[in-house]
Structures are given as structure tokens and as C-alpha cells.
A and B are shown apart, each in its own frame.
Chain A
Amino acid sequence: MVDTLIAKRHLMANKKQTLVAMLGVTFGIAMFILMISFMIGVNQFMEDTMLSSTPDIHIYNDIKTDYTVSIAGDYFKDKNLLVSVRHPKPKQVNLNIKNASGIINDLQHDPEITRVSPFLSTQVFYNYGPVQINGYINGVNIIDESKIFDLRSKMIVGQPEDLLNADKGIIMGRGLASKLNLSAGDMVTLTTPAGTSMSFRVVGIFAIGIGTIDDTRSYINLANVQQLMGKDRSYITDINIKLTNNKLAPSKAGELYKKYNYKSDDWQTANSSVMASNIVRDVLTYVVSITLLTVAGFGIYNIMNMTIQNKMKDIAILKAQGFSGHDIVRIFLSQSLFIGFFGALMGEVLGFLLSYALSRVPFPHNDFISLKYFPVIFNPAHYFFGLVFGVITPFIAGLMPSIKASRIDPVVILRG
């Protein structure tokens, strides 16, 4: 109690110096808050964008070109010959998932899976008059698909359900529609690699915000694509899955692969480059924040050392009067903690204001990224950590000078 009284007086006696020390922490914490809010905001945005184009888990039939087995082997069976086949060609394979309805039924009963959307994807040419553009169509059950990717919020023209109401409707990516100069109600002809073609009416246009998808992809009813490709009703090439918790995707994908023996990609693996840049941003945030806090820590260390140098006589007389080493440590350490705590509080406020300001800055307009403002996230945990760092740094910075102060020999000082 006396110790805090003395500490308070020391701080108040040199307000300017106290304030400068505090501002060091304030800027450190403010920058930490700003950087982490922005960086996590960017990460979150990237993740959201990713998840709007990548399902939590994507099951598909990967093309396996197996050249080890040849019918030549069957033909020369038991003849004790070494058969060598040069330039083998892969045999005709169907890319569909066998027993798709069984797998889908199975997946729908998995408690960790909230939604299953089977689809049939194929490459097509979009013909509109003389213009031909290469792209993809996804034959989907549009209700399931739009629940997984929240298509409703991505529609520029029309609604996902319009696909069900129209006979041979198509929902197109924005980039694709503008290249073909199509708008809702126009007809477009699709040609498959196999040569069959069919006309569809544009019922909607979507924009996910990723150029490569908006420029090439369209949605059509699953049955129409099966018809276009001349396949039966059970022909499905891919299954998209949404999980209750998408952080579990990698382990769940492995599990599904083992179970069904079809390639299962989780969203993190499918977007590993984005995940890597997320990690880089995280590391960058912590490196810069720790650097700033270390600088602030050295500032406090210097100021505490200076204070103690100036207070040698006071320390000696306090010790003579019966203040113990612990009291001296408490007196100076509490000053350092006070600087840290209030500096950090001010830093949190400043950091919040800066983050808020940044979140109101319009993002430069860009056709490929659907972003109106800089992405900033306000997470109470960041503010909590800011406060913890803001107290730990001055504690460490103040500890050494305080212990030094407690070791001062009063006899040397008092005898002059």
C-alpha cells in the first residue's frame, strides 16, 4: 500500500516521462490491434471467397491411367513369355462415381455432414452466333448446390430456383455472360466434346468474385446435362459436401477416401496456396507486433533505469527506514506495470479507432474481387491478447531495473 503510494508519486512527479513511456506501449498495441484485425480480416475474406467456390470436401473420380496391365498379358497367358508393350494407350474410362446414389444416401446420414450436392461436370463450348467460348457446365440439383455455396447472395440477375421453373435453363457466370453478350432470356447453344449440342435459355447470372470461375462456369439442371451427354440418370462425376465444422475437413476427407476409394479433396488442400499466404500474413503480423512491443519494452527499460538512477538516494533512505528489497522491487515494478497497463488500454482504443477507420476505407474497384471496403475483423480475443502483451512486456522490461534497485547498498549512497 505504501509501495503503491510511492510508485504513484514517482509517476506523477514526472508526467511527461511517464506519458512518453506509455505512448511507446500505446503505439505498439495499437499497431498490433490494427495489423491483426486487418490481416485476420484479409484471411477471413480469402477463406470466405475460397469457400464460396470450394466445398468443404469434394469427392470425384480422379483419372487413373494404369499402364501396368495390358490385354496382351491376357492374350499370351501361361505361355512363359515376357510381354512388352510400347506406347500403350489408356483404355476408355468412365469418369463417373459408381454406386453414386448409395454413397450419397450414406453421406446424408453422416451427422458431421450437413449437406450433400452431387453434380456432373463437363467441358463445353458456348456458342452464341459465331462466338465460341470454352468453359464448364455443372449439372446440379440447384437447391443443394446453392445451400452449399450460398448462391442466392451471389446472384446478379434472377434466383437459383429459376433454374427449376424453366425448361432447359442455365445460370451463367458474369464474365462468361458479358463475353457472349448474353442477358436473361437469351438463348445459348452448348456443344460437348463428344459433339452433341443443345440450346439453353439464360435464367440467371451469378458473380462469385473469382475471375476464373465467373468467366467459365454455368449451372444447369443435372438431368439436362445427363441428357446432353447421353448418359443415364445415375451418372454423376462429383459430390460436394458441407460439414458442420469445416476445420475438420482434412481428417474427414481422408476418412471418406478410405471408405469409398474416390479422391476426396478438403478445401484446405485444394487451396493450399491461399492457406500458405494466410500463414505468411499471420507470421508477419506477429513479427511486426513483437518488434514494436520489444521497442516499447526497451523504452520502458531505459526510463526505469533512468528513474532508478535519479532515485538512488531515495532508495537508500527507504531501505534505511525499513523498506525491504521486495518493497523496492514492488515500487518500481508497479510503475512499469502501470505504464504498461494504461499504455495498452490507450493502445486498444487507438487500435480500435484505426481499425474502424480502415474498415470504412473503400477498396479500389476491381472486377475480379467483390470487396467494397478493406476487410477488417473486430475480435475481442485480439484485444484481450493486446492487453496481456501490453502488461507482460513492461513486466519483463521493468523487472531487471527493479531488481537492480533492490540490490542497491544504502551504506554506499548514504555515506556519500
Chain B
Amino acid sequence: MSAALRVENLNKSFHEPEDFQVLFDISFTVNKGEFVPVIGKSGCGKSTLLYLLSTLDTDYQGKIFINDQLLTGESQNNLARFRNENIGFVFQFHFLLPEFTVLENVMLPALKLGKLSRKEIEEQAIDKLRQLQMDTFAHKLSSRLSGGQQQRVAIARALINNPTIIMADEPTGNLDSVNTGLVFDIFRELSHQKGITILTVTHDLDFAKNADRVIEMVDGRIKI
């Protein structure tokens, strides 16, 4: 199996309000199609790690490879382009754009990528929504949906450009147990059947228990 994500000697410090090191020499590899929750206590640095891996935060020492491509030191514009094409995001809060319909929210990243025609993108978006059983809501304004529904739309949006990796930050943090179970099933299905790598930061130990492999963090280090 080839590596979807490889990290070498990652160190990260915050300088405000005072110098404080959060991550110490983190190295690990995630294979393609793996479903890997990152767990740990509050403040252990797991969210910080996720944002480094997502390329949104570029202030660190060490090296990050995604799809064997070194991303450390790339320009912001190149990273934006890379994220658009290769990484899907799911956050604790859904962050859907309220002025747009469900369908349009899902379509936006693909429209940005601009590889397909509008019509093809629309078909794909409907397809992704159908996978998540949200296709009946396609033409509703996203702000009209419930929390669980919005999170499913957010997952559909993360999938629209067929990314190799999905990064999720507490995706179930705001959901009840039914919806949590649903999101978990979706993630497992995506990783096992579609071969999409899923890296998710979570508090939810039940959620982690059934995963392929768990990365546990303690005080800025990976516990093995």
C-alpha cells in the first residue's frame, strides 16, 4: 500500500502570548484508504496537528507529504490549488454558505476547480448528495436544514472533487448519537469502498473504537 500522508519530524510552537511548543517530533504515515481517528485530551495538540496537515497552517518545522508530494514550503496559491483538488474538509460546525442552496454549496469547490462543465458538476453533486441521502434537499437553502443534515451536506461537499484524503475536525462534536453513528458509517464506507483516506480528530471514543487504527496523542507527542 502506498502512503497517502507522510509526516517527518513535525515541530510546532506558538509564539503568542508566549513561546510554547505544542508538537514534538511527530512522524507517522497513513496509507491510502485508511480510516484513522486522532484522539487525545483537550490541548494535546491534535487539532493543531490536523491544521498543519491540512496545509492551512504553514508555520512549522518538519516535512509533510501528501500523495508523496512535498507540500512544505509551497506558496499559498499553490497550496490553495492543492487543497481544492486533493483534500476534503469536514468541520465541527458545518460552515455551509447560507446564501446558497444545498446543491450549490456542494458544487462550489468543483466550480472553483473548473475541470468539468457546470452540468457535469451538477450531476456529480446530485450523485454525492444521493450517497448521503440528501438529494431530496438539493434545492433548499442550506440554512433551512437541521444540524445532522447540514453535516451530511458538508461531507458531500468534501467529496465533490474526489479528494484522496478527507480531514475532519470533530465532525460529530455537535451531533446526537444517531447522527454520529451515521457519519461514522459514511466515513467507514468511504474509506473501505472508495479508497479515500480519512483522518479525523475526535473526542468520541466510541467513534474511534471501531476504526482501522487510532493515533493517540499525549502532550504533543504520538503515543504508541
Contacts and interface: CB of A to CB of B under 8 A. Distances in A.
A314 B54 contact: no
Given A2-B111, A5-B111, A414-B91, A324 B81 contact: yes
B3 to A, nearest CB: 22
B81 A321 contact: no
A326 interface: yes
A322 B111 CA distance: 11
Contacts of B108: 2, 6, 318, 321
Interface stretch (B23-31, B92-100, B209-217): B92-100
Nearest to B96: A317
Given A2-B108, A323-B80, A411 B56 contact: yes
A322 B113 contact: yes
A221 B40 CA distance: 112
A322 B110 CA distance: 10
Interface in B81-96: 81-85, 89, 91-93, 95
B47 A415 contact: yes
Given A9-B99, A414-B91, A415-B51, A323 B112 contact: yes
A124 B56 CA distance: 94
A321 B89 contact: yes
Contacts of B56: 319-320, 410-411, 414
Interface in B80-134: 80-85, 89, 91-93, 95, 97-100, 108-109, 111-114
B169 interface: yes
Nearest to A414: B91
A324 B80 contact: yes
Contacts of B85: 322
Contacts of A323: 80, 84, 112
A152 B101 CA distance: 73
Given A414-B56, A414-B91, A322 B112 contact: yes
A138 B76 CA distance: 82
Contact of B97 (A314, A322, A325): A314
A306 interface: no
B77 A326 contact: yes
A71 interface: no
B109 A321 contact: yes
Interface in B172-217: none
A327 interface: yes
Contacts of A316: 95
B8 interface: no
B76 A324 contact: yes
B57 interface: yes
Nearest to B86: A322
A10 interface: yes
A194 interface: no
A313 interface: yes
A12 B97 CA distance: 14
A13 interface: yes
Contacts of A326: 77
B112 A327 contact: yes
Given A324-B76, A324-B77, A324-B81, A317 B111 contact: no
B13 to A, nearest CB: 15
B80 to A, nearest CB: 4
A10 B169 contact: no
B77 A325 contact: yes
Contact of B109 (A1, A314, A322): A322
Interface in A33-70: none
B76 to A, nearest CB: 7
A12 B141 CA distance: 14
B30 to A, nearest CB: 19
Interface of B: 47, 51, 54, 56-57, 76-77, 80-85, 89, 91-93, 95, 97-100, 108-109, 111-114, 157, 169
8 contacts: A1-B111, A2-B108, A2-B111, A319-B56, A320-B56, A321-B89, A415-B51, A415-B169
Given A314-B97, A414-B56, 7 more contacts: A1-B111, A320-B89, A321-B112, A322-B81, A322-B84, A324-B77, A324-B81
